Chain A
Amino acid sequence: MDLDYNIEGGDFTHAGEASSHLKKILKSLNLDSGLIRRTVVSMYEAEVNVVAHAWSGDIHVNIRPDQIHITITDSGPGIPDLELAMQKGYSTASPAVREMGFGAGMGLPNIKENSDFMDITSKPGSGTIMKIVNQIKR
């Protein structure tokens, strides 16, 4: 099963709608509740990152019998130092993002914590591509 979502940068009113939709789909597939929570928390963190840092983004979800693949591609400023960005507490979020309850430098480490595989490709000025994979154990 394939699902596609468009994310608009700066639109905190609708931030999380894609992750909410995915959660409903995963529940309808009767997957383990812990797997569903880990997967949607990962995707929600990534979705909020796009809203907070990029101008726009696309999320593609591919649900296979044994794995859930999520690819988030954004047209944002990119991440100059990935190692630094992965450190807990490091953040470049704006005051507006912090007022929404985010931007504490927890997002990327939490995505890694809640996924079985995570990969980020990014260059300043050319956006960011994040891949997340979670295993489905039956």
Chain B
Amino acid sequence: MTIDEILKSTGGVIHCGAHRMNDNVDRAFCSDLMSDVLTLGCQDILLITGLANVQAIRTAEMADISHILFVRDKTISAEMLQLATENDMVLAQCKSSMFKVAGQLYSAGLDPVY
């Protein structure tokens, strides 16, 4: 799925990385636990999380994850935006719960990491 399709499926809005709207991601992972994200051993996935802090961006940077969708209407801070921009990441946000977003994207064809 492209980022554009992901945003349309979830009613999400993009906060940075708008030039990457046509990026394709094949798999997604839902977690508020960054320790779990660091164990994935795969890259170029969509991270769906409700943990809105700088360490979520840092964790994605370390794990080679360039696309993050924040759920539950979380606020994306200026520090998060700055770090994401420095790393050429896509940060998007939507109002729905993690469960609803996961269902929407799975139904639309996005595969799980495992």
Which A residues contact B (CB, under 8 angstroms)? 12-13, 15-16, 19-20, 23, 33, 37, 40-41, 44-45, 48, 100-107, 110, 113
Q: Is the interface of B mostly helix, strand, loop or mixed?
A: helix
Q: How many A-B residue pairs have CB under 8 A?
A: 63
What 1/0 mask marks residues of chain B from 38 to 73 whose CB sits below 8 Å from any chain A CB?
110001000000010111101101111000000000
Choose one: A15, A44, A103, A105; the contact of B38 (CB below 8 Å): A44
A-B contact pairs, 12 of them (CB 8 A): A12-B55, A15-B58, A16-B59, A16-B62, A41-B38, A44-B38, A44-B58, A100-B53, A102-B34, A106-B38, A110-B35, A110-B38
Give the docked Cα–Cα distance between A16 and B58 (Å): 6
Name the distance in Å between A107's Cβ and chain B's nearest Cβ. Answer: 6
Q: Is the interface of A mostly helix, strand, loop or mixed?
A: helix
Which B residues contact A (CB, under 8 angstroms)? 32-36, 38-39, 43, 51, 53-56, 58-59, 61-64, 79
A106 touches B55 (CB 8 A): no
Known: A110-B39, A113-B39. A101 touches B54 (CB 8 A): no
Taking A16-B61, A20-B61, A101-B51 as known contacts, 7 extra A-B pairs with beta carbons closer than 8 A to each other, sorted by chain A number, are A12-B55, A16-B58, A16-B62, A20-B62, A37-B64, A100-B53, A110-B35
B35 touches A102 (CB 8 A): yes
Give the docked Cα–Cα distance between A110 and B56 (Å): 17
Name the distance in Å between B53's Cβ and chain A's nearest Cβ. Answer: 6
Give the docked Cα–Cα distance between A101 and B70 (Å): 14
Known: A16-B55, A45-B38, A110-B39. A101 touches B61 (CB 8 A): no
Give the docked Cα–Cα distance between A40 and B65 (Å): 13
Known: A33-B64, A37-B63, A41-B63. A103 touches B58 (CB 8 A): no
A23 touches B32 (CB 8 A): no
Name the distance in Å between B69's Cβ and chain A's nearest Cβ. Answer: 16
Closest 4 CB pairs of A and B: A101-B34, A16-B58, A106-B35, A104-B35
